[in-house]
Amino acid sequence: MDAIPAQAAPIAELSFEDALRALEDVVRRLEGGDVPLDESISLYERGEELRRHCQARLDQAQARIESIVAGPDGRAAGTAPFPGE
C-alpha cells in the first residue's frame, strides 16, 4: 500500500512523524512570507490542527510509559504510571 502524502491525508490518520513533518512544512511556508493572506490563514489553521494532533500523540505515549518502583531493599518491586498521570 502506498503512503498517503501528509498534505492530503486526514490529520487523524497521520502518524506522529508524518504530522510533525507536515507541521514543519507549514511553518517553513509561513515563515517564507511568500504565501497570499487567505492561504496563510488556511495554513495556520492546518498547522494548529497538526500541533494538536502531535500533542495528543505525545500525551498518549507519555501515558503508556511506566517507571520502575524500587522496594525498601532497592530492588525493583513493580511499575507505576509515568509521573503526572
The pLDDT tens digits for 9-64 are 799 999 999 999 999 999 999 999 999 999 999 999 999 999 999 999 998 887 77
pLDDT at 61: 83
Residue 40: C-alpha distances to residues 16, 28, 35, 46, 75 (Å) = 23, 11, 6, 10, 56
| Angle subtended at Cα 42 by Cα 4 and Cα 28, rounded to the nearest 5 degrees | 70
Give residue 1's pLDDT band: very low, low, confident or very high (50, 70, 90).
Answer: very low
pTM of the predicted model, to two decimals?
0.69
Confidence check: pLDDT of 67 > 70: no
* Phi, psi of 21, deg, nearest 5: -60, -40
Report d(CA 15, CA 21) in Å as an integer: 10
Report d(CA 67, CA 83) in Å as an integer: 8
Confidence check: pLDDT of 3 > 60: no
